[in-house]
Structures are given as C-alpha cells and as structure tokens.
Structure 1
Amino acid sequence: MFRHVHIGDCEAREPLLSGEYPEREQRDSDEEEIMFDRCTSKITCDPGGNAKRRLTYEEAVEEAGFGWFHWLLLVVCGWANASDAVEILCVSFLLPTARCDLLLSSSDMGLLTSSIFLGMMVGGYTWGYLADQRGRRRVLVVSLAVNGVFGGLASVAPWFWLFLLLRFISGVGVGGSIPVVFSYFSEFMPRLRRGAMISALAAFWMAGNILAAGLAWLVIPSNWAHFSVGTLDFQSWRLFVALCSVPSLSSALLFRLFMPESPKFLMETGREKEAIHVFQVMFKLNTWGKGKNLPEFGLCTSSKQRGGPEETRTHGGSRRERLACGLRKVLMPMKQMFTGSLRSRSVALLLVFYCISFGYYGLWMWFPALFERMESGGGSPCANTTATITSPTLHNHSCYPVKTAVYMEGFIIAASNLPGNIFTIFMVDRLGGKALLSCSLLVSSLSVFLIYVVRTKVQSLVLCCVFSGVSVVTWNTLNVLGTELYPTQLRSSALGFFTSVARVAAIMGNVAFGGLVDTNCAVPVLLVSALLLIGGLVALVLPQTRQTELA
C-alpha cells in the first residue's frame, strides 16, 4: 500500500508504515511490537471482476512448496556470499608477505585493510537503493562483476597506491552484493523455514573464510607460485589475490544465466505475470518427477509500478532543483527507516552493527599479523609490542621464508565457525533472533577480554577460535533480523545502510589496530571487548521476529 508524497517539484510513492492505519496493525505476541500492515487473500485485489483465486505473497510461496529450487538457490546465493568473504578476508592473509614487497608500515597495512571497507561503505546504501528500485538480480550481477574484475586487477598492481585504489573499487562491488543477496534469498523462502535457511546462507561466509585461508596456506608459502611477468615480480601473494577473484566472477555468471528475479519484488512493482512465472518455476523444480501442475491463481500486487514514469518524472525547474529532487528521492528510504515505529529498531540495529563490525573486522583482519607476533613473542599477541615494523626495507627477513604456521592457525580459526553456524541454523527459529544476538555479543566480549589476559600461544589460539565461533552467531542472527524487520520496499535499502555503517566501524577498527598495534596493543583489544558488551545490551531492545511474515 502506498501514498503519494511531494518532494519539491517531484512526486514519489512512500510506503505506508504501521501506525498510520491503527486498525490494521498487528502485534507480535512476545514483544507487543507493532509489525507491518499485511494484505490477506480475502481482500479483493482485482476490481476488474476476475473470479480466479488471488493469493498474497506468503500464500503463493507456500503454494509453490519447498524443495529442490530452494536448495539450488541456497547453493548459488551461498557461493555469492562465500565470494564476498573471500574478497574481504584475502587482504588479511596477504599482509605478512605483501608488506615487504609493497614496503608497508603498520599504518599502511591499516589503510590497506580499510580500503575495501571504505568501498563497501560507498557501495552499500547505493546498491541497496538500486535493488529496491530496479530489482535484486540485476544489482547482484553488476556488483559481483565489479567485485571480481577489480579484485583480479589488483593482483598485478605494481604500486601500493594503485593496489589500494583497486581494492577500494572491489569493495564498492562487495558493498552491493552482501546486503542484496540476503534480501533476494529471503524473498523466496516460506515463513516457517526462513530463519533456518537464512542462517544456512550465512554459513557460506564460513565456507568463503575457509577457502581464503586454505588458498593462502596452499599458495603463499609455495615457491612454485613465484614467477616474473615482464618487469613485475609476481610473488605468490599476487597469485593468491588473482585466485580470490574467481568466486565473484563465477557467481555473477550464475545469477546472469540461471536465476530469476525475486517474486516479492515483482509483486511490489505490479508485475503479476512475471511473479506468477517465478512461482511456477519454483513449483516445477520443487515437485520434480511428481507430475504435478501448479493450480491457476492470481496475485495481490501493487497497483502501480515503481520506477515508472509517475515516479521518475520531474516537473521543470533548474538543474539544481532537479538534482536536489533526485537526491531527496534517494535519501527517502533512510528517512523512513527512522520514522514512526521503525525508529527504535533502526537506532538499535545501527549501534549493534557498529559494535560487532568494529570488533569483528578489527580483530579478524589482523589475526594473521597478530599470530605472526605470537610466533616471535611466544605467547600473547600483545606481549611483543617492542618488535615494531618501522622500516620494511630493513626487515625483509621477517617476511621470507613465509611462516606457514600463521596460515595454518588462520585456517583453524576459520574452521571454528562451523559449530556456531550449525547452532544458529537449528536454534534461531526456536529461541528467536533477539536472544541469540544479545547472548552471542556478550560471550564474544568476554572471549576478546580473555585474549588480552592470557599469556600462551595455545590459550590465545583457543580464545580466538571461541571468538570466531560465537561471533558468527551474531552475524547470522543479524542477517535474519535485518530481512524481517523491514518491508520489501525498504529491505535492501535498510540492509545497505547498515552495511555502510558497519564499514565505517570496520575502517575505524582497522585504523585503530594499525595505529596502536605497535605501541599499545592493549587499547584496541580492550576497546573491542567494551563495544561488544555495549552491543549485547543494546540488542535487548529489538523486537522478537521469530517466524514472522515478510511485509
């Protein structure tokens, strides 16, 4: 349901949020939280007199069934999610060797780890807005292609500034694919399976993490991966960067060739025939070999198409006025997120995303470097702060030969995500997202504090694995909550906005580690612990959304 609002000289359609029609509001039984207005099949959606049965989105999804289509969708979307993990985390694994070839100080390494997050911050909201206006599938194809192409080009960049720029552009692509893939995936899922399936999708981040760690362990320490291309000395870490771009490119190709548009998006834009076709494809694959046919039905769709002439038209005015009008349209979803009943959940999610992103990416991107310090110091990652890297040209012996133990430990930490992923898949629909989110943040906070306290390498490794396994529960739960707390016309924009907030936090976390890891390692570690504690407490104010319908 929409209303027309005037912004200067332009007209746009703004979704009606709960609270504007009190008689249609629904309350969650656990939290007494106002949820979204929902259509039911009893409403006459087609005034033209068509007598055929008309279904709402949730009813049509149930009619299409659950089966092979959803498992294939999980694999394709999961591979896209894994490709994002590979592209982000590959930087952390190349630091121990690339810092010598590119002559990097600790501050430079902080800038390098921050560059992809800066790109994600720029791309997150922009791609999310485009996905809400133009379609999920199209945005996924383009953003994954940008990620893969520029990530691959970075492997041959001879200078640090060029490598930094290409990693930034690659991050712009990652910023689009991460939030949009979860919106896209959730809009095919039946209500009772949505939480578990989104958690299963999030588990592919672990697969990407393990893939990146495994490739680093296999390629970077190997002599066979070192060769020359013209004047460029192609070290093994460059081959590793090139290989890390393959998952993104292959994901873009899979979406372009085989995947349909989201039926929920098609319904919201009034494209009934296309949406029905998607449901027919879903039913056909889900009932493969059973010889069944999907009964004929119509859909409750929006009466107007978004992105049509009525929305994109501007009425005269100067170029400056038209530009201001377009900017207000782009920022309208952000305004709606912090209006009415959505305000409190948006503020809470903003704080939670900031806290977990500062802590997770601040620590994770520096795990290989911290474990390299453990190799030298023999214990806590903060016990050997005097061994600073002030002049890479004088300390190449610290990079070569490559210490394979660093990558083995990174692989172990990546694999430690498995218990957290399995736990989330089976428990998110039983316990609810809010409880899992708060508890996982609090336990993560404690584990990071103990990383600072312990004094042996084994103890540090165990606690890093605990942090990895528990923090993944936080991320998986946030992916479920983020898709269920916002209506379709805001879903990708909201996830894109929070992704951008998370990237700001990730940049700050990496800059903090880069600036302080040599002089006072305890400060960023304890700051991470404090922020995770704050995030766990803030999460308690979020509404419970267990097995809720998508608005």
Structure 2
Amino acid sequence: MESSNDKTSGVSNSVTFDDALSLTKFGQLNYVLIIIAGTILTAFLLETLGISYVIAVAECDLQLSTKEKGVLSGIAFVGVIISSHLWGFLADTMGRRKVIVPTLCLTFGTTALSSFATGFWSIVILRFFAGFFVSGSSATIYAYLGEFHNHRNRSRAIMGASFVFGIGCLLLPAIAYVVINREWALVVPVLNIVYRPWRLFLVVCSLPCLVSGLALLWLPESPKFMLHQGDMKAAIDTIQWMHRVNCGKTVSPLFIDLILADEEDKQFEERRAVLSSSKGFSAMMKLVWDQTAPLFRKPYLNITAIVCFLQFGTYFTSHGLYMFFPEILNQLVESHAAGVDRTTVCNVVYTQNRLINSEVVGDQSCTPQMLNATTYGLSFILEVIYALGFAVIGVLINVVGKLSILVFVFVGCGLSGALMVVVDTPVGGMSLYMILVMAGFGGSVVTAATVDLFPTNLRAMAVCIALMFGRLGGVVGANMLGMLLDTHCEWSFGMSGAILMICTVLSFFIPNINVCTRGNEPLPTLSSKPESCDEVGYVTRKSHPTCESVENIQ
C-alpha cells in the first residue's frame, strides 16, 4: 500500500514552514541543538564573567586598582556592544552558521593570546577583542536554535538551552577552584611574565568555544534562513534530514514538495532582491540601515524599547554586579570567619579598603592571592541554583506564561538589592547578594519573548540589539561598582534594586506576554490545501484550536 505522503500518490505535499517543522517531530536532533546552543551560551559566560575570578587574584601580577578592575571586568562587554549590530546584520544576510562558527574559533584564539598579556593595557585590548568575537555566536545562536523549532516548541527550546547554560555555569567556580588555587608558576623570559594559574584559567574557560564551534560543523544552516534566501530545495532537504535523524530509518521518509510562503517570506523576498542588486559601501550601509530601522518604527518601536531596557536592567545587575561577586563574597566569608557577626556588606567593603590604603607605600613585595575555599563553595551553590532555576522555568514557561516568571524574578531580586543596604549580618549579606545576581533568569525569558515577537528577517538583529543594550548594562554596572564601591557602596546595590523594580512594571507592557501554550497540538497533515498560517512578527494560526490567536500590534 502506498503511503499517503508518497510523491507518487498524486497529492501535492504543500505545507507551511511551521507545520513542516512539526512533521519532523521533536527528537534527538533537537536535543543536540539545545545542548550545543547551551554550550555556546556557557562559552559566553565563561569568556565575560570568568574575568571576575581573575581580577580577584591577579591584582598583584597586573597591579590593578579598584577602578582598573572595573574597566577590565567590563571591557569584554564593550567589545560585545560594538560588534552586536555588525553580527546581527551579517547573521540576517549571510547566514546564522556562517557567523557562529568563525567567531567561536576567533574567540578561542584571542583568549589564548590574552593569557600571555604582559600588563593592564595588553590584557584590556585582548579581552576587548574576545568580547568582540564572542558576541557573534552568543546572540545569533538564539535565532539559529529557534528556527529549527516550530512556534509551540520554540520558547521551550530556548529555555532548554538556558538550562544547559545553567549546568555549564557550574564550570565557572569548578574550573576556578581546580585551576586558580594552585601555587605553581612558570617564568616566560621572552615576555618577562610569570605564567600563573589564573592565566591557564583563561584558556580553559575558552575551550567550550572551540568544542561547540567544531560541533556546529556537523549541522546545517537554519532551514528558515535558507528558505528566505530563496533556496527552497535546501530548506526542504534540511527538514527531511531532521525527520530522518529524529524518527530513524524505520519510519517512512517525509516528502514535501513545497513550503508555502507567508507574508513574512514575501517581505524577505523583496529585501533579498534589493540585497542582490546592491553594490558599494554606501549601498551596504543603506542595507544595514534598512535592516535596523524597522525595529525603531511602528509596529516594533515600543517592543524594541521595552526589551532593550529589560535586558539593560537584567545585565546591569546579574553581570555588572557579578564581576565583583567573588571578591566581595570572599571578604564576607573572611569577615564571618573572623567572628564578625553584625556588619553590613558595605561596611565590610569599606573596612577592606581601609586596610589596603594603610599598607606601606614602599612595600613592593608581591604575593600571589588565593580565594577562600568557602567562596568557591558558595559560588558553586549559586550556579546550581541557576541550573535548577532554568530547568523549572523551562517546564513552567508554557504553563504560567512569561509575565509571571518575569515579575517573580524582578521583584524578588529587586527587594534583595534594597535589603542589602540595611541587613547587618555577613550571612544575610551573602544570601541577598546571591539572590540579587539571580536576576539573570529574567534575561533568558526576555530573549525567548524577543524571538517570538519579531519576524525571521528581523529576529537576529532584534536579539542582537536587545542583548547589546544588555551588555551595555553589564558595562555600566561593572564600572559603576568599580567607581562607587570604595566610597558609595550603598548606591550600587540600591540602584540595582530600583532598576529591577522598573523592569517589573515594564514587563506588563510586553505585547501578548500573557499568552501561554497548553496541551498537545495535533500534528499537521500534508495537503494540497493547507491550513492558513500568517506570520508577520506575531504568529496567527486561527485554524488550529490549540494555538493562541495573536494579532499584530497596530
């Protein structure tokens, strides 16, 4: 008996792109994509936040002041900010995979070189370029992952990658503990440096970039991007390959003759025609502008502004304040071990600063620094909470909706920032600081919302710009703490709490933020007259009763 899906049956197997992805089913390929995406997100964290452990122990080798620590901790984010727009444009015009793979390899090479930095400015420059390159993979991977999943599974896939990212975060304190707290030293006469464990720590933190870059060589370009490039055959081949990998050889092959164009595809076709006829630098700059300008016009202007501020506030706290987390946490641990039971976080910081300033100026001795083992233990606990939190969010995001999660995270973390100013026990200060930097949960949820809100031709650019503002928040937060920590410590934590409260209010203005996906959507069937599905920024699938009907914002 012939299969109803067989090409020879005389039926024109035409489906929408979202339905085609549904037919591939959710299987081992999806899990591989989620793991690789999570590894790339982990690589970004190790590249940008791993420096927080370096500045806590390399003060002697690099002769760092508190302000210079702030600069060094935030310089990678500066590279990320400057390059975000470029990578977003290239990802939307050249391809997701063509951006992700080279930037991962370049990041690893730059970081390996930074481990041989001879002074403050050399490591600052190299860390800037590490941030410049890692930005290309970290932002583009969201669009790449999302375009291998249908609308119903897209947010869950992104949160799944965030869960892998949360598990990967455990590597940061683990690597730091295994590598940094060692006493070996290797003299490099050519560079006149001493190669200590913190330098090796930088290289080890960059290994996920190399591993994930090599893994992506096995995977194809996003089928959605290939479809928008006019290569329908390649898109269909990729979808059929996904079906074979997920379903195995025992299942009948998936036959698709045509992927029906929706309104978004037609808009992208017009842009592709303009792109192919454009020559010269000015024409290219006009294309960049045309790629960016729609995000700052109706109907996307309000959405862009909201997600950019939410990412700014999230990174301001979770990344900006995390840069000094190991150092401040170590001070709190040592203060508690010394028998100090009643003191605020800021008083501990002020006391440590006075001790440093009271040292003899002429003393040029340099003793390699180490962190207390309890500091690593508490950092590891924080990362475990992150991993479990992402797992819980991945399960609940389609049940309770994104808004409930954002409000819970922003309010809880914001209150912790305000309480840090007044709580006068080291243990309480440690706990509140750990809760405060958990604002990073909100960033992944906002990114999942961003992927849903924008069409394919603007999606990568929208995510890149939103994350660019997020990294700007990280730079501002790190440098603000570097400037204010020694004299106005309370302002740093109080401002973080206030910004997160503003994020709470803005969360209510994200379009369709209350839409949840419940139940199991029946798989579509191949038909010559497929169900209508318009996707112009917001998905509208009125013919499927289990899907929410979402209208475009006017």
Counterpart of 2:21, as a letter, is V
Instruction: Select the residue among 275, 284, 290 that pairs with 1:311.
Output: 275
SS at 1:543's partner residue? coil
Conserved in 2, the CA contact under 8 Å of 1:420 and 1:472? no
Conserved in 1, the CA contact under 8 Å of 2:399 and 2:516? no
Query: Aligned partners of 2:441, 2:415: CA distance in 1, in Å?
Result: 15
Report the more deviating stretch, 177-186 or 326-335.
326-335
* 1:493 to 2:461 alignment: yes
Question: Paired residue for 1:26?
Answer: none
Instruction: Select the residue among 528, 543, 550 that pairs with 2:511.
Output: 543
Alignment: residue pair count: 493
Question: Paired residue for 1:345?
Answer: 303
SS at 2:194's partner residue? strand
Query: Aligned partners of 1:88, 1:352: CA distance in 2, in Å?
Result: 20
Matches within 5 A, 1:456-495: 456-469=425-438, 471-495=439-463
Specify whether residues 286 and 401 from structure 1 end up closer, same or farther in structure 2 by C-alpha distance, changes over 3 A only: closer
Query: Aligned partners of 2:67, 2:436: CA distance in 1, in Å?
Result: 25
SS at 1:366's partner residue? helix
Question: Paired residue for 1:242?
Answer: 203
Instruction: Select the residue among 248, 251, 255 that pairs with 1:291.
Output: 251
Counterpart of 2:304, as a letter, is S
Report the more deviating stretch, 121-130 or 203-212.
203-212
* 1:188 to 2:148 alignment: yes
Question: Paired residue for 1:319?
Answer: none
Instruction: Report the alpha carbon displacement of residue 309 of structure 1 after superposing the two structures with TM.
Output: 6.8
Instruction: Report the alpha carbon displacement of residue 232 of structure 1 after superposing the two structures with TM.
Output: 2.4
Report the more deviating stretch, 326-335 or 162-171.
326-335
Query: Aligned partners of 1:96, 1:220: CA distance in 2, in Å?
Result: 11
Alignment TM-score, normalising by the size of structure 2:
0.84
Matches within 5 A, 1:72-151: 72-151=32-111
Query: Aligned partners of 1:509, 1:88: CA distance in 2, in Å?
Result: 14
* 1:229 to 2:194 alignment: no
Conserved in 2, the CA contact under 8 Å of 1:434 and 1:544? no
Offset from partner CA, 1:288-339 (integer Å, 9 cap, x none): 2533211233112446868867424347xxxxxx544432321223210121
Instruction: Select the residue among 270, 275, 286 that pairs with 2:230.
Output: 270
Matches within 5 A, 1:10-89: 52-89=12-49
* 1:215 to 2:199 alignment: no
Instruction: Select the residue among 421, 436, 449 that pairs with 2:418.
Output: 449
Offset from partner CA, 1:455-492 (integer Å, 9 cap, x none): 222222222333344x2431221121011010000000
Query: Aligned partners of 1:468, 1:401: CA distance in 2, in Å?
Result: 23
Alignment TM-score, normalising by the size of structure 1:
0.84
RMSD (Å), alpha carbons: 2.3
Query: Aligned partners of 2:463, 2:74: CA distance in 1, in Å?
Result: 20
Query: Aligned partners of 1:488, 1:278: CA distance in 2, in Å?
Result: 17
Conserved in 2, the CA contact under 8 Å of 1:90 and 1:241? yes
Question: Paired residue for 1:45?
Answer: none
Instruction: Report the alpha carbon displacement of residue 89 of structure 1 after superposing the two structures with TM.
Output: 1.4
Specify whether residues 243 and 178 from structure 1 end up closer, same or farther in structure 2 by C-alpha distance, changes over 3 A only: same
Conserved in 2, the CA contact under 8 Å of 1:446 and 1:529? yes
Matches within 5 A, 1:414-453: 414-453=383-422
Query: Aligned partners of 1:377, 1:98: CA distance in 2, in Å?
Result: 21
Offset from partner CA, 1:247-292 (integer Å, 9 cap, x none): 101111111x201111111111111011011101110011125332
- Any unmatched runs of 5+ in structure 1? 1-49, 316-321
Specify whether residues 278 and 430 from structure 1 end up closer, same or farther in structure 2 by C-alpha distance, changes over 3 A only: same
Specify whether residues 398 and 362 from structure 1 end up closer, same or farther in structure 2 by C-alpha distance, changes over 3 A only: farther
Counterpart of 1:142, as a letter, is P
Counterpart of 1:489, as a letter, is N
Question: Paired residue for 1:37?
Answer: none
Question: Paired residue for 1:179?
Answer: 139
Query: Aligned partners of 1:531, 1:335: CA distance in 2, in Å?
Result: 27
Percent identity, aligned pairs only, is 25
Conserved in 2, the CA contact under 8 Å of 1:126 and 1:496? no
Conserved in 2, the CA contact under 8 Å of 1:129 and 1:496? no
Query: Aligned partners of 2:38, 2:83: CA distance in 1, in Å?
Result: 20
Question: Paired residue for 2:529?
Answer: none
Counterpart of 1:133, as a letter, is T
Query: Aligned partners of 1:143, 1:61: CA distance in 2, in Å?
Result: 28
Specify whether residues 284 and 272 from structure 1 end up closer, same or farther in structure 2 by C-alpha distance, changes over 3 A only: same
Question: Paired residue for 2:330?
Answer: 372
Counterpart of 2:161, as a letter, is L
Specify whether residues 375 and 398 from structure 1 end up closer, same or farther in structure 2 by C-alpha distance, changes over 3 A only: farther
* 1:387 to 2:352 alignment: yes
* 1:300 to 2:268 alignment: no
Question: Paired residue for 2:528?
Answer: none
Counterpart of 2:299, as a letter, is S
SS at 1:228's partner residue? strand
